[in-house]
Amino acid sequence: MIKPHGSEILNPLYVFEEEKRNELLKEAEKLPSIVLNSAAASNAVMLGCGYFNPLKGFMDLSDAKNVAQNMHTVDGLFWPVPILNIVKDVKEISDSKRIALRDPNIKGNPVLAIQQVDAIEEISKEDKDLIVKKIFKTDDPEHPGVANFYSLGNYVVSGPIQVLNFSYFEKDFPNTFRTAYQIREEILKLGWEKVVAFQTRNPMHRAHEELCKMAKEAVNADGILIHMLLGKLKKGDIPADVRDAAIRKMVELYFPPDTVLITGYGFDMLYAGPREAVLHAIFRQNCGCTHLIVGRDHAGVGKYYGPFDAQKIFDEQVPEHALEIKIFKADHTAWSKKLKKVVMMSRVPDHTKDDFVFLSGTKVREVLSNGEALPPEFSRPEVAEILGHYYRSQTE
């Protein structure tokens, strides 16, 4: 198993010792507090899980700008995306050295973490614009990640944190939510040396299924980590519980036993394309995976990124030896009518567009909402049934 990013061992920021955790929860009730936005709350969860190893907490403005411009912190740590606690109002915490961070996603806003306040800095419009343009490659307010970033507030609260729970993820997804250290432990138990990670925020159709199998065979991996995002998505994306059910059914019926770990992580999607793909690589390395599948328009949205920008960034902007994890570059996959199987389109130069089965996301939703069956070349029938039930429930 490969080492975590930036350290010899994984250092999750969750407080494991129950007695210490209870002491901190009591302390938190007496501390000044803020209710986090969902983006900062998901960052805290990821820090607690060890996915953002070796970070010790939220970045300050200088680190955020340096990461945006150069993909390194001021101290030289390779990192692709600022990890920030941005707030709108700091009156309650302006003179505080320790503060309680409250969860915006659970009724009553229970304490999620305690933060040491190293600095509170006002972020200018110029600095926001710089970060946005570097991370998202656009400042278009229609981009969901851009719109969300601009809405967060104008103050950066930096400093190390102690994480006391994992928000709603453990309760809502008990069979799927896993920390980076739990995944490493599971991989060790299974005796896997080479592990291919597959990132998804969507249900998996035939092409995704075959891509995982192709990658496993190509790198001679022992197993596959299907790692789904469980946090907040943009409007129109399929909810995590529906995706989870569809993926589990597909793996149960169509993968060999004991070759797949189905897990999820508590992060809000950024839709940052290439930069988010690099972040995905870092936290899969922290899980112990040796390879990450990076496909067409990885972590993208709309037409803001080129189809293979998320692959190019690893060749053009990620320094050699910055990461131990390797990238499996995948082309667009589709069902070949000629070969009667899913193929990578770049590997069948004798095919024309008419030789493939294509369905747009819009067409898929339309077919399922109407109670019609998806073509078997596109989706396993058991998966289509789960998705169809969800879409029909939305129109009733």
CA distance 65 to 81: 10
Give the Å distances, CA to CA, from 168 to 103, 105, 107, 119, 233: 9, 7, 10, 28, 15
Q: Write out the two tokens for 289.
A: 């995976």
Which residues lie closer than 8 Å to 165 by C-beta, 6 or more apart? Answer: 110, 112
DSSP reduced 3-state for 301: coil
Number of Cβ within 10 Å of residue 377's Cβ equals 18
Measured in whole angstroms, the distance separating CA 67 from the mean position of its chain's CA atoms is: 18
Cis status, amide bond into 141, omega within 30 of 0: no
Q: Of these residues, 102, 178, 201, 275, which one is catalytic? A: 201
Measured in whole angstroms, the distance separating CA 155 from the mean position of its chain's CA atoms is: 25
Does residue 248 have an active-site annotation?
no
Number of Cβ within 10 Å of residue 46's Cβ equals 28
For 20, list phi and psi in degrees, rounded to 5.
Answer: -65, -40
Does residue 43 have an active-site annotation?
no
DSSP state of 355: G
At which residue do the structure tokens 């659970």 appear?
106
In what helix (H) or strand (E) does residue 120 lie, and over which residues does it extend? strand 119-122
CA distance 306 to 297: 7
In what helix (H) or strand (E) does residue 342 lie, and over which residues does it extend? strand 341-344
* Terminal CA-CA length for the chain: 48
Q: Of these residues, 70, 154, 202, 365, which one is catalytic? A: 202
Q: Which residues are catalytic?
A: 201-202
